[in-house]
A and B are shown apart, each in its own frame.
Chain A
Amino acid sequence: MRQILASLWFALHSAGQNFRRNLGVSLAGVFTMGLIIFLVGGSLLFTHSVDTVLQGQEQNASHLKIYLSDNASLASITNFESRLKHDPRVISVTFETKDQAKQQASQNQSISNALAVLGSNPLPASLNLNVRKLTDLSQFNAEAKATPIVDSTTPTDYNSDVISKLNTVITVIQWVGAIIAVILLTISIVIIMNTIRTAVYSRRTEIEIMKLVGATDWFVRWPFILEGMLGGLLAAIFSGAVVFGAYRLFVQAAQGNLLSVPFDTRYTITLLIVLLVGGVAVGAFGSFLGVRRFLSA
């Protein structure tokens, strides 16, 4: 116990000394780390907000009309409808008869005239599907095509082109986000590594003596790891506060203008915790790499 406390005290004391002795480099490191954490946190919150708004929009967009063949029996239609209703991916299904379709279409004057000329009703009855996720539409489209009571010439109003393009855009945005996050993470680690290298360099005699008198590698390493963790923590606290403030301003500003973005408290708290833990972890890992080369002698 006494030994652990003494080691901890030694490590903390040395970490503090390192930080102060190389104040310029330490502060620059903390500042840059803070900036990166701010970027990561800010973009995560921004994406989340956009996501929330988009999800609302997506539900409106996630409609599919399944056209039914004219000779489908009412029983088979009811059967198909109830099967869709029980699917967890589906929000609602409504049945639209040929007459309702005609009425709907007749709101357009020229179509109304054309229908009057024809006499008979060429418009098919349909099941109007509202699903939770845009990406599920293609599956429902495929399912509809395989169902016998569905009109075989025009099974649905599914516009695969538009939807697949939308999907591509979403995927690309996600990938770009992930790549940027990885790049930023790597940069943070390199920054911490170099900050710690400076600290290691200014303590090279001390480390040399420690190794000569038989201190363990971990004893040599801990002060630097703590220093890195300390830097990561400071950076995360400051940038977390800035991200939090900026998010509140953004929500307030958005409220008056274009869209109302909800202030997501749970997401924000989770994010702040993730930023703190991430900052400390990146600090520790960067320091570990920073001292590694020096110790492997």
Chain B
Amino acid sequence: MSVAVAERSAAPPQHALRPVISFHGVSKVYPNGTEALRDVDLAIHQGDFCFLVGPSGAGKSTLVRLLIRDEAPSTGRIFIDGQEVSRMSHRKLPKLRRKFGIVFQDYKLLTRRTVAQNVAFALQVTRPGQRHMREKVEEVLWIVGLEDKLDKFPDELSGGEQQRVAIARALVHRPRIFLADEPTGNLDPDTSWGIVQLLLQINHRGTTVMMATHNREVVDLVRRRVIAIDNGRVVRDEAEGSYLREGTATL
């Protein structure tokens, strides 16, 4: 595996007074009684890059779903950009979601559309009739390194390339916060590394990035902020952490 760690931002992020994401005593109990998150407190600042680590079932995806208000917390409050999302009305959700770019383990690409059409779709359904759509699409596809695959269909691409298309689609409306929920879950180590490099590059351009993963090698190589979750609780939050607690075999 290549160890060419992506360049870091020269200066540490200038923390605004107000974090871009904050959780205050957040718990989530699903209707079936599962306690997915318990009393979570978090603050993430504009321009941060952080890993959300923990075993399967720890509550990582739940945390992501609460952020985009796909689910509402059972108790506690969540703020994005100073706006409380935990009690946000249904009507305001589209505006909230446009602040995020999000990708998942399954790429959620539309198989009947080309690469360029998949990316353009995000603009068509949020800003119909927007001018210079083609240029914007080509620009993000260039950022993810797929400028020569515009007219290919998803099933003509490798897994890593498909995830890049998903990343391009999530980037095309210039989100403030980029969320990746196990983006490398279906990829081999080299390809995974490429995706992580891309996320670091996106972060380098000023976007806040949060990546949920249980890919130990990647986390240990990058050495950025690590938030570890186990059984719904934040058990560790380090500025330059590794996957496991230093010198132990536990989170």
Please list the residues of chain A having a beta carbon within 8 angstroms of any beta carbon in chain B.
Answer: 2-7, 10, 205-206, 208-217, 219-220, 296-297
Knowing that A10-B128, A209-B122, A219-B128 touch, tell me 5 more A-B residue pairs with CB under 8 angstroms. A4-B129, A205-B110, A209-B121, A213-B169, A217-B94
Residue of B108, B121, B127, B129 contacting most chain A CB atoms (<10 Å) = B129
Contact with A along B115-128 (1 / 0, CB 8 A): 00000011011111
Q: Is the CB of B125 within 8 A of A219?
A: yes
Q: Is the CB of A3 within 8 A of B126?
A: no
Q: Is the CB of A7 within 8 A of B128?
A: yes
Tell whether B70 is near chain A: CB-to-CB under 8 Å: yes
Q: Is the CB of B126 within 8 A of A215?
A: yes
Q: Which 9 A-B pairs have the closest CB atoms?
A: A6-B129, A6-B128, A214-B97, A214-B98, A2-B129, A215-B125, A3-B129, A214-B94, A213-B122
Cα A5 to Cα B95 in complex, Å, equals: 21
Tell whether B146 is near chain A: CB-to-CB under 8 Å: no
Please list the residues of chain B having a beta carbon within 8 angstroms of any beta carbon in chain A.
Answer: 68, 70, 90, 93-98, 102, 108, 110, 121-122, 124-130, 169-170, 173
Q: List residues of chain A with CB within 8 A of the CB of B122.
A: 209, 213
Q: Is the CB of A297 within 8 A of B70?
A: yes
Q: List residues of chain B with CB within 8 A of the CB of A5.
A: 129
Q: Secondary structure at chain A's binding surface: helix, strand, loop or mixed?
A: helix
Cα A6 to Cα B126 in complex, Å, equals: 11
Q: List residues of chain B with CB within 8 A of the CB of A217.
A: 90, 94
Cα A2 to Cα B129 in complex, Å, equals: 5
Q: Is the CB of A215 within 8 A of B94?
A: yes
Q: Which partner residue on chain A sits nearest B103 by CB separation? A: A212
Q: Is the CB of B128 within 8 A of A214?
A: no
Cα A237 to Cα B90 in complex, Å, equals: 38
Q: Which partner residue on chain A sits nearest B94 by CB separation? A: A214
Cα A211 to Cα B96 in complex, Å, equals: 11
Cα A208 to Cα B96 in complex, Å, equals: 15
Q: List residues of chain B with CB within 8 A of the CB of A6.
A: 124, 128-130
Q: Is the CB of B110 within 8 A of A214?
A: no
Contact among B126, B129, B130 with A213 in the assembled complex (CB-CB below 8 Å) = B126
Q: Is the CB of B108 within 8 A of A209?
A: yes
Cα A54 to Cα B117 in complex, Å, equals: 64
Q: Is the CB of A213 within 8 A of B125?
A: yes
Cα A208 to Cα B124 in complex, Å, equals: 15
Q: List 20 A-B contacts (CB under 8 A).
A: A2-B129, A5-B129, A6-B129, A6-B130, A10-B124, A205-B108, A206-B121, A208-B108, A209-B110, A211-B97, A212-B108, A213-B125, A214-B95, A214-B96, A214-B97, A214-B126, A215-B125, A217-B94, A220-B125, A296-B90
Q: Which partner residue on chain A sits nearest B101 by CB separation? A: A213
Q: Is the CB of B173 within 8 A of A213?
A: yes
Q: List residues of chain A with CB within 8 A of the CB of B169.
A: 209, 213
Q: List residues of chain B with CB within 8 A of the CB of A10.
A: 124-125, 128
Q: List residues of chain A with CB within 8 A of the CB of B125.
A: 10, 209-210, 213, 215, 219-220
Q: Which partner residue on chain B sits nearest A17 by CB separation? A: B112
